[in-house]
Amino acid sequence: MTDHRGMLQFYVGLTPRQREVLQLVSEGLSNQEVGERLYIAQSVVAGHLTNIYEQMAVLDTLSDTRPNRYHAVRYFAGFFQRYPELDNFPR
């Protein structure tokens, strides 16, 4: 899932809250920081990330490793800066 078209399709398929969480994680924020920023519990952030990682695993069938925070940051680093119009994407 390293091409931007695939990443954009993946992003569009996420819930609005998952998009917010993914964007903040890709900026390097911890679960605690994401929770504080979005006014949600760390456990809720972790739940959103688990769902995001599971969806990433479905799309990335070539990898033999389970997606995690490192994969999310690596895949989406710079993605939101490259597509600033995503800031106006319906949430």
What are the boundaries of each domain within the chain? 4-85
For the ranges 7-16, 32-41, 55-64, the maximum mean pLDDT occurs at 32-41
The confidence band for 39, taking pLDDT boundaries of 50, 70 and 90, is: very high
Cβ count within 10 A of residue 21: 28
- Torsion-angle region of residue 55: left (phi > 0), alpha (psi -120 to 50) or beta? alpha
Q: What is the pLDDT of residue 10?
A: 83
Tokens of 24: 């903040």
Rounded Cα–Cα distance for residues 26 and 71 (Å):
10
| Least confident among 20-29, 63-72, 79-88 | 63-72
CB contact at 8 A, 69 and 55: no
Q: Is the pTM of this model over 0.85?
A: no
3-class DSSP state for residue 11? Answer: helix
Class of domain 4-85: mainly alpha
Tokens 């996420």 found at: 14
DSSP letter, residue 13: T
| Least confident among 19-23, 25-29, 61-65 | 61-65
